Amino acid sequence: MSKIKELYKLSKAAKVGEECICPACGCKFIKTNYQQAFCKTKANTKCKDKYWNTVTPEKRCNTTRISPANRRFKNNLRELNRLTMSNKYDDGIDYLLDCGDRD
């Protein structure tokens, strides 16, 4: 882990236009912005995310962490189950017999 932290420091300290090594994937890249520390070879922000998820101890063990979107989804699912379970018994055949013919 100290190697990737060192690569991150080197990338941050490099001047614009210098060749750097991405701390996450090890690809060489030319620094195009003063604040750039990761390559842009992977789609979206995968290298940046991989680096910070590896370096941050709480994120390395993310089985205990629930994202707000997952928490909201689970709460909505529980509420839906609660609502549908309260109506789980239909009137069945007795209801149909009481309705009679609807002409």
Cα(55)–Cα(7) distance, integer angstroms:
12
Residue indicated by tokens 């690569």: 7
pLDDT per residue as tens digits for the range 82-100: 777 665 555 566 655 666 5
Read off the tokens for 103: 């002409």
DSSP H/E element including 101: none
The pLDDT of residue 100 is: 59
pLDDT 10s digits, 23-37 = 988 889 999 999 999
Domain ranges for the chain, please list them: 2-60, 68-99
pLDDT in tens, 6-58: 999 999 999 999 999 999 888 899 999 999 999 887 777 788 888 888 888 77
| Burial (0-12, 13-18, 19+ Cβ within 10 Å), 54 | middle
